[in-house]
């Protein structure tokens, strides 16, 4: 028998609409038409103007033959057109594929092919690599060139420029809002720290929920948020911040080059209140502080994602007037899922202890659903002892739809009804998680697990160390042993030996965790600040093999 | 052919869970276990303790035989148990029916019968009326008595008190989270400004979304929110604030009696940051200001719902250190759907003009979906001219599931795919709506529409007027004419005549809008501060008929 609470009570258009971030743009344009939505150099767009440009892009795409469920890719820096594409592409019913601008032509060609991209928007800054990638892909696709006066001139890749494309948009084309909130909104290729890139599919439901959740943890709803785009928009759609900024009708400040000079200039000129980035951004802020910098009265909010930055870097960043919140998430979970919520009780802690607490990955956000650290197979949660390592697993409404054309990888990721992050962590007594390693990066030495991150943290406490990475190398006796790759501060270069470092570590770590090899050379990171340790492992193994010869 | 973005990409438990406010409680208890969640007199519950009590209530209900989809009612002031029921009842899979405490026994009996209430929780303060209502209903139901030391002793209604009920909860009872986000979570009987009460069904999806939306418009995520419960929890589940406070793990301050003395005492003692109420609460604040009141440095945020309070009241409230936000919504839409967002440009306005702008119902909230003011039948939106009257219509994700056991009323409410609010409004040039009347309260005089609210606003500008209501009375010549019912400030009582008032209005209104009759007597309001104009119309018609004899 149907319950009385279900009888004649079906959903109807008045009480059920597909959730989507697209409506947030319409509301922002209605409620704050004249507020500045986008700033780039001398360019300014109000929320009405921004919304109009997004709609024009959508209509132009429809006019160009784009259908529901087609892929439209963009290769661009954090410029206004990149922000427009975040709304304009899905408003045409298409799926936006924001491509990593640091990739080479063969990698881009792979993405264009795999995603079956029908149309590509190209920032003039990347015209050359885009031209080569399109050629390599062997595909027929429309290319729209985004012309810009702030970068060197380049030969167009396609036959139409962005502004002409928008100008020719058919005014009567009907915008295509999602028919179902489970419809795809975006495609993000993982940077591939392990193996070949996978296409992570975002859906309207999670994109909307994460936009709302972001306004909560980032406190974007306080007065007028001015968000500086230091975080690449091709990374989890800028962790969904383009959509979150529409939820609060704040101001987006574009940034083509993430260099301290431009960051500080934007902060001063536009009254930036929020920005986000990898730990490298914090170091850059500290190193690149202008002489005339005046610490702001209200701290500027800064989300820091990725590995924990050294305590001293957090300290120095705070001293400059930034409020650092450590956050953690992954492409497969629509970006940020945990934040290191600051507890009142930390105020009473000794300075360094407080900073150590702040550098953890923390607790789940309001919209993130459930998170456990557990045995990957039995799904049994680990003890809250700060020691036992398990895999971080998510369950809720922020999980991706799955991987594009990769049912095996999708099934594996969702094994047992939880999203397997591949990140290994411990849970502290207070319930805060701390990432110890990628599951593929753990070092097994003499049967013992060695967290590469733990060894790196020790290395960072050495005053000469600027960057550090620890990976496994094969060892006849122990199976694997830790090897440290170090970049020293310029003034210390050439002044330290392998033995100095090993001795330093031995004083702070048990023997099996102490690196057996040290290599001094620059570390290569991906566009999102990640180390590709599987590449580094391979590279290091060759160096050590040669040494042993 | 299935699109590649839908192939092998079904929902699974890792990426799709029913949205519900219930999970917000679990997160708050995990992330802020030791933060104070509930304060009542000397009682304090941390978030862990509050969550435990909610879970115990759920398990006790399950132990008492409550099944999924059963109705559990509560008749209580804003005390801790009332907050616990907002989570505990739905955690048992049941639907919470928070009954208006101002109702008489027959009205409560009707609700118990119509809702098929299986179990009733009774605050000792309302023992007598509850006992009578249960008897009148002729129903068999479990009654749990909430004992309290801050109200006079009363004979128990049932056989078990709340604390014993919780203590006996079976520890192994499995909590029942929703199987579908469309499942009912609450039942709210409309106060019946027109006709007999209808049972409005809330669903988990909208309750969750509105909780998130509330944290955004009310800025509950700023530091630690301390919310004072001046707004009855039986009204739209306190507009969903019990759930919103869990989203930010703020502090709920209970309040049994909404009197200025207790409000000010709570503000000072607990550092209240937020509260909400009808315009009458603002007047009470102004009238009841303690002698030693010190204006707070940071204004206390105050949501004011219902008819716009007189400009002078807003002004006086602001002067005391409160930041007033006018909000508007309805039971059928899970509470607040519009807020009068303050625009920067208003700062340059003349004082009174700014206050007039602030008293409008405003623009839709971030999560409210679409809102139009339109012809009720053609659905054609009215011009943004501040003059043309239409009905406020909603479409989105905040609409109720429908009315319980009333398919006709449900169908009528959702006619044409929009939720018909029954409120008449104009839209100003800036897109802000202003309510002019309930559709059933408009006065048609000589074929012209007269907004009773517009006439009331004029009456409020008279210094002697404390409360005012305008309703239609039958008139042989004009069909209907406006009649004013007035409550004067004590010092003016008996010193004004009908003619004085009519002359005053004539100087400010066209003839057809000027009241033809004036009655001096106290106005009776519902528990939620609403006038039941259909009752007043009937009452006034008799008085005028007697006068004409």
| CB contact (8 A) between residue B364 and residue A31 | yes
Contact A338, A433 (CB under 8 A): yes
- Smallest Cα distance from A193 to chain B, Å: 23
**Environment class of residue A298 by beta-carbon count within 10 Å: exposed (0-12), middle (13-18) or buried (19+)?**
exposed
Residue A482 has a pLDDT of 93
pLDDT at A186 over 70: yes
Confidence at A102, pLDDT banded by 50, 70, 90 = confident
The helix (H) or strand (E) run that includes residue B485 is strand B479-488
Residues of A in contact with B183 (CB under 8 A): 5
- Compare B453 and A211 and report the one with higher pLDDT: A211
- Compare B353 and A449 and report the one with higher pLDDT: B353
Residues of A in contact with B24 (CB under 8 A): 366
Confidence at A115, pLDDT banded by 50, 70, 90 = very high
Q: What percent of chain A has pLDDT over 90?
A: 77
Residues of A in contact with B116 (CB under 8 A): 4
A150-172, pLDDT tens digit by residue? Answer: 999 899 999 999 999 999 999 99
- Smallest Cα distance from A175 to chain B, Å: 16
Residues of A in contact with B405 (CB under 8 A): 4, 7
B373-391, pLDDT tens digit by residue? Answer: 999 999 999 999 999 999 9
| CB contact (8 A) between residue A216 and residue B213 | no
Residue A511 has a pLDDT of 85
The residue among B15, B180, B217 with the most chain A CBs within 10 A of its CB, best to mutate, is B15
Residues of A in contact with B400 (CB under 8 A): 15
Residue B443 has a pLDDT of 87
From B14, B410, B417, residue closest to A417, measured CB to CB: B14
The residue among B2, B3, B4, B5 with the most chain A CBs within 10 A of its CB, best to mutate, is B5
Sequence-distant (6+) residues with CB within 8 A of B488 are: B464, B465, B466, B495, B496, B520
| CB contact (8 A) between residue A14 and residue B182 | no
Question: Nearest-CA residue of chain A relative to B95?
Answer: A5
Q: How many CB pairs under 8 A join A and B?
A: 180
| CB contact (8 A) between residue A4 and residue B116 | yes
pLDDT at A498 over 70: yes
Contact A369, B18 (CB under 8 A): no
Strand order in the sheet with B71-75: B160-161, B142-146, B117-123, B71-75, B95-98, B184-189, B199-203, B402-403
| CB contact (8 A) between residue B201 and residue A418 | no
Q: Which of the residues in chain B have pLDDT under 50?
A: 193
Confidence at A508, pLDDT banded by 50, 70, 90 = confident
- Smallest Cα distance from B115 to chain A, Å: 9
Residue B1 has a pLDDT of 66
Lowest mean pLDDT among A193-207, A275-289, A527-541, B141-155: A527-541
Sequence-distant (6+) residues with CB within 8 A of B243 are: B21, B24, B86, B207, B208, B210, B211, B237
- Smallest Cα distance from A14 to chain B, Å: 4
What is the pairing mode between strands B160-161 and B184-189?
Answer: unpaired
Tokens representing A431 are 């319930």
From B69, B209, B216, residue closest to A3, measured CB to CB: B69
pLDDT at A538 over 90: no
Residue B118 has a pLDDT of 98
Residues of B in contact with A399 (CB under 8 A): 14-16
- Smallest Cα distance from B193 to chain A, Å: 23
Residues of A in contact with B198 (CB under 8 A): none
Question: Nearest-CA residue of chain A relative to B30?
Answer: A431
User: How far, in Å, CA of B338 to CA of A30, rounded?
Assistant: 13
Rounded average pLDDT over A338-346: 94
Tokens representing A240 are 């969904």
Q: Which domains does chain A have, with CATH numbers?
A: 443-548 (3.30.300.30)
Residues of A in contact with B369 (CB under 8 A): 17, 23
Residue B195 has a pLDDT of 56
Confidence at A527, pLDDT banded by 50, 70, 90 = low
Q: What is the pTM of this model?
A: 0.90
Residue B223 has a pLDDT of 74
Residues of A in contact with B69 (CB under 8 A): 3-6
| CB contact (8 A) between residue B14 and residue A184 | no
Residue A170 has a pLDDT of 98
Confidence at A195, pLDDT banded by 50, 70, 90 = low
Residue B529 has a pLDDT of 66
Residues of B in contact with A116 (CB under 8 A): 4
From A6, A395, A407, residue closest to B13, measured CB to CB: A395
The residue among B12, B14, B431 with the most chain A CBs within 10 A of its CB, best to mutate, is B14
| The residue to which tokens 């902060």 are assigned | A267
| CB contact (8 A) between residue B12 and residue A417 | yes
Residue B277 has a pLDDT of 86
The residue among A204, A212, A366 with the most chain B CBs within 10 A of its CB, best to mutate, is A366
So what's the ipTM on this one?
0.89
Residues of A in contact with B216 (CB under 8 A): 212, 215-216, 221, 247-248
- Compare A144 and A474 and report the one with higher pLDDT: A144
From A32, A206, A410, residue closest to B8, measured CB to CB: A410
Residue B281 has a pLDDT of 85
- Smallest Cα distance from B485 to chain A, Å: 37
Question: Nearest-CA residue of chain A relative to B1?
Answer: A69
pLDDT at A544 over 60: yes
| CB contact (8 A) between residue B8 and residue A369 | no
Q: Phi first, then psi: what are they for B53, rounded to 5°?
A: -65, -40
Task: Give the residue from B203, B160, B108 showing the smallest Cα distance to B98.
Answer: B108
| CB contact (8 A) between residue A201 and residue B5 | yes
Residue A495 has a pLDDT of 92
| The residue to which tokens 């420029």 are assigned | A161
Residue A78 has a pLDDT of 98
Residue B191 has a pLDDT of 63
From A30, A396, A417, residue closest to B431, measured CB to CB: A30
| CB contact (8 A) between residue B397 and residue A27 | no
From A11, A69, A414, residue closest to B5, measured CB to CB: A69
User: How far, in Å, CA of A111 to CA of A114, rounded?
Assistant: 5
Residues of B in contact with A95 (CB under 8 A): 5
The helix (H) or strand (E) run that includes residue B338 is strand B335-339
| CB contact (8 A) between residue B219 and residue A221 | yes
| CB contact (8 A) between residue B417 and residue A7 | no
- Smallest Cα distance from A379 to chain B, Å: 13
A22-79, pLDDT tens digit by residue? Answer: 999 999 999 999 999 999 999 999 999 999 999 999 999 999 999 999 999 999 999 9
Tokens representing B174 are 């499995």
A242-297, pLDDT tens digit by residue? Answer: 999 999 999 999 999 999 999 999 999 999 999 998 877 888 899 899 999 999 99
Q: How far is CA B505 from CA A363, B460, B513, B518, in A?
A: 61, 11, 9, 11
Residue B204 has a pLDDT of 98
Tokens representing A180 are 């179902």
From B4, B15, B399, residue closest to A404, measured CB to CB: B4
């Amino acid at each position: 028998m149907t319950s009385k609470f279900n009888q004649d009570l079906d959903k109807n258009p008045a009480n059920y609409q597909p959730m989507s971030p697209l409506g947030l743009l319409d509301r922002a344009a209605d409620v704050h038409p004249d507020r500045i939505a986008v700033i780039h150099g001398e360019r300014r767009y109000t929320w009405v103007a921004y919304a109009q440009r997004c709609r024009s892009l959508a209509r132009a795409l429809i006019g160009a033959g784009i259908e529901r469920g087609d892929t439209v890719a963009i290769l661009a820096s954090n410029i206004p057109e990149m922000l427009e594409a975040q709304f304009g592409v899905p408003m045409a019913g298409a799926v936006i594929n924001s491509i990593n601008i640091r990739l080479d032509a063969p990698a881009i060609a792979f993405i264009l092919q795999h995603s079956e991209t029908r149309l590509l928007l190209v920032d003039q800054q990347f015209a050359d690599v885009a031209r080569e990638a399109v050629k390599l892909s062997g595909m027929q696709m429309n290319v729209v060139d985004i012309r810009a006066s702030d970068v060197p001139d380049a030969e167009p890749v396609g036959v139409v420029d962005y502004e002409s494309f928008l100008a020719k948009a058919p005014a009567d084309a009907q915008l295509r809002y999602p028919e179902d909130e489970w419809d795809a909104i975006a495609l993000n290729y993982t940077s591939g720290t392990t193996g070949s890139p996978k296409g992570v599919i975002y859906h309207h439901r999670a994109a909307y929920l994460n936009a709302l959740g972001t306004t909560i943890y980032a406190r974007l709803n306080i007065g007028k948020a001015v968000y500086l785009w230091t975080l690449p928009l091709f990374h989890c759609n800028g962790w969904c911040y383009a959509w979150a900024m529409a939820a609060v009708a704040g101001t987006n400040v574009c940034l083509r080059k993430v260099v301290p000079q431009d960051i500080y200039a934007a902060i001063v000129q536009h009254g930036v209140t929020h920005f986000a980035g990898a730990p490298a951004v914090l170091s850059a802020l500290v190193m690149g502080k202008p002489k005339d910098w005046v610490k702001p009265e209200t701290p500027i909010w800064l989300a820091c994602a990725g590995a924990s930055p050294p305590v001293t870097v957090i300290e120095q960043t705070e001293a400059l007037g930034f409020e650092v919140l450590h956050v953690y998430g992954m492409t497969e979970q629509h970006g940020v899922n945990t934040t290191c919520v600051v507890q009142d009780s930390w105020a009473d802690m000794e300075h360094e202890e407080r900073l150590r607490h702040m550098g953890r990955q923390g607790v789940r956000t309001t919209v993130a659903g459930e998170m456990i650290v557990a045995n990957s197979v039995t799904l049994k949660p680990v003890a809250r002892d700060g020691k036992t390592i398990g895999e971080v697993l998510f369950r809720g409404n922020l999980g991706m739809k799955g991987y594009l054309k990769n049912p095996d990888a999708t099934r594996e990721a969702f094994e047992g009804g939880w999203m397997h992050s591949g990140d290994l962590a411990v849970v502290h007594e207070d319930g805060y998680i701390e990432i110890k390693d990628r599951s593929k990066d753990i070092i097994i030495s003499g049967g013992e697990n060695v967290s590469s991150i733990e060894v790196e943290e020790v290395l960072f406490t050495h005053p000469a160390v600027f960057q550090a990475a620890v990976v496994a190398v094969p060892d006849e006796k122990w199976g694997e042993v830790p090897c440290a790759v170090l970049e020293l501060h310029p003034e210390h270069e050439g002044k330290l030996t392998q033995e100095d470092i090993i001795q330093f570590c031995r004083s702070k770590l048990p023997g099996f965790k102490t690196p057996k090899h040290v290599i001094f050379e620059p570390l290569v990171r991906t566009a999102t600040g990640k180390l590709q340790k599987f590449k580094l492992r391979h590279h290091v193994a060759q160096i050590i093999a040669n040494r042993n010869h």
